Structure 1
Amino acid sequence: MAQRPPDVWARGHAYERYMGRWSRQVAEVFVAGLGGRNGLRWLDVGCGTGALTGAVAARCRPRAVVGVDRSRGFLRAARAAVPAPAGFAVADASALPFHDAVFDAAVSGLALNFLEPPGPAVAEAARVVRPGGLVAAYVWDYAEGMGLLRHFWDAAASVDPAAATRDEGRRFPLCRPGPLHALWTGAGLLDVSVAPIEVPTVFNGFAELWEPFLSGQGPAPGYVATLAPAARDRLRTRLATTLPTGPDGSVALTARAWAVRGRRP
């Protein structure tokens, strides 16, 4: 069996057009729900283009907030988008370059399912927060709640059955309440809870929805990049026929994420 190409995360601008605008909405809701006092020290693990880091910096008046990611391209975009007091560094989520208990909160947005395995990253996040500190994250509900990707992969599988193996709904069983809860409790965290976050994803027309899939950034655009022009056109046509399109040509969908939180003993 041919090996699946790795997911590409390198070009911040392309990611923003594809998924970043929706991830910023989710980040705002997520941070608003965390509560907590001002002046805390925050770590954003797998910060990407800085959506969650920026929400923390804007809403929480942090003493410090640091975003780490393996993608230098994404970090360049994050540095350009998020002003001080935010700082950024290249780092592996499974081997964080920080001493024990130096942060008050460690958070992560839309990254956990891309860490294989995710357990070491959660353990590292727990290690670097103080006793009683917060460890929280959110991931897309790929299987059921991410309307854009659900329509895309269903259309892809209808014209190319082999595409089903690349569907994030199948690839990421972690992105459900039960597995997330188990991951947090398995890391020794207390008072664990999981809750949904849902935001609207509205496109002015099909072209606005389709063009970001040509960017090559992430699993679905990465799949499109492998297709010959004729196969790409078949997928485009099939997807267009399955979407809920309004009289003005707009496409109104929703995106759901699952947020998990707990505290270090």
Structure 2
Amino acid sequence: MDAGGPSDVWARGDAYERYMGRWSRRVAELFLARLGAPAALRWLDVGCGTGALTSQVASRCRPRTVLGLDRSGEFVRAARAAAPVPARFAVADASALPLRDAVFDAVVSGLALNFVEPPEAAVAEAARVVRPGGLVAAYVWDYADGMALLRLFWDAAAAVDPAAAALDEGRRFPLCRPDPLRALWTGAGLTDVTVGSVEVPTVFTGFEDLWEPFLSGQGPAPGYVATLAPGARDRLRTRLAATLPAGPGGSVRLTARAWTVRGRRPPGPPQ
């Protein structure tokens, strides 16, 4: 996953796994099931992070080859250590892929587009390296409304610190909605573009299971928490805890929605 703004740090694989990785793997499964791609394809995963999507391709799609690329060397090392054969990984920038034209059958990306600058360049590169007629598909969290964990977090943060509202991913990241995703794909010259959604449960054993990953400094919300003085952090913690639904045995049961987008490269060079 490529880094974005100054508070959007994505570097440590273990911290990402505790924060988002455990949910992103479930989304990857549903995303691939809906693609319904045949076996023996050559796959590329751009902004692969800790390898959630790449690993699912390797284990579920019977690929001919699968390559995961990410700008973070730490993420690539974590992905390489955990992924099954035949997945391979390398460090590369999504906006300038070190790959020849038209060498993949399917190019995918999971939860990365909002952290790539500019996203238009990344999608154009995906369209360049996929073969004519090949698939380009991605998914992103619905930060605006459908990612309950972050919606509750930022609402609590803004309640105790109005300035925090400007950092809310739902405001900052336009690609967390269907229409901008569709426009991004069509703008890259891709055709047969469709947008959909997938939703997964995000169940925490208790409040500490939910809160601890926010202390890692990884990503926009934990990055914001890292800037707070101890008193302000405690006020945010208390406010967030008070807004969460109570489940059996103290569990916290939420849901997370991601928007998906897919299209195909038409015959001839990308538009």
**TM bucket normalised to smaller:** over 0.9
Which residue number corresponds to residue 166 of structure 1?
A: 167
Residue 137 of structure 1 pairs with residue 134 of structure 2: no
For normalisation by structure 2, the TM-score amounts to: 0.95
Match of 1:130, as an amino acid? Answer: R
Aligned to 1:33: 34
CA distance in structure 2 between the aligned counterparts of 1:89 and 1:179, rounded to whole angstroms: 29
Question: The residue matched to 1:123 in structure 2 has which SS?
Answer: helix
Which amino acid in structure 2 is aligned with residue 121 of structure 1? A
How high is the sequence identity, in percent, across the aligned residues? 81
Kindly indicate whether residue 53 of structure 2 is the aligned counterpart of residue 64 of structure 1: no
Q: 1:34-183, aligned counterparts within 5 Å?
A: 34-183=35-184
Which residue of structure 1 aligns with residue 269 of structure 2?
none
Match in the other structure for 2:204? 203
- RMSD of Structure 2 on Structure 1 (CA): 0.8
CA distance in 2, matches of 1:191, 1:136: 11
Q: What is the one-letter code of the residue matched to 1:37?
A: P
Deviation at 1:37, TM superposition (A): 1.3
Residue-by-residue CA offset, 1:136-177 (whole Å, 9 max, x unaligned): 000000000000000000000000011111110000012111
Q: Where do residues 170-249 of structure 1 align in structure 2 (5 Å cutoff)?
A: 170-249=171-250
Alpha-carbon distance in 1 for matches of 2:125, 2:118: 12
State whether structure 2 residue 254 is matched by structure 1 residue 253: yes
Offset, 1:247: 4.7
Cα distance between partner residues in 1 of 2:11 and 2:176: 23
Match of 1:256, SS?
A: strand
Counterpart residue type for residue 54 of structure 2: T
Q: Where in structure 1 are there 5+ consecutive unaligned residues?
A: none
Structure 1 range deviating more: 4-13 or 30-39 = 4-13
Give the unaligned 5+ runs of structure 2: 267-271
**1:5 offset after TM fit, Å?**
2.9
Q: Distance in 1 between matches of 2:225 and 2:187?
A: 37
Q: How many Å apart are 1:83 and its aligned residue?
A: 2.4
- Cα drift, residue 204 of structure 1: 1.1
1:264 paired with 2:265, answer: yes
**3-state SS of 1:151 partner:** helix
SS of 1:174's equivalent in the other structure is helix
Alpha-carbon separation, structure 2, partners of 1:40 and 1:102 = 11
* CA drift at 1:36: 1.8
Secondary structure in structure 1 of the residue aligned to 2:132? strand
With normalisation by structure 1, the TM-score equals 0.97
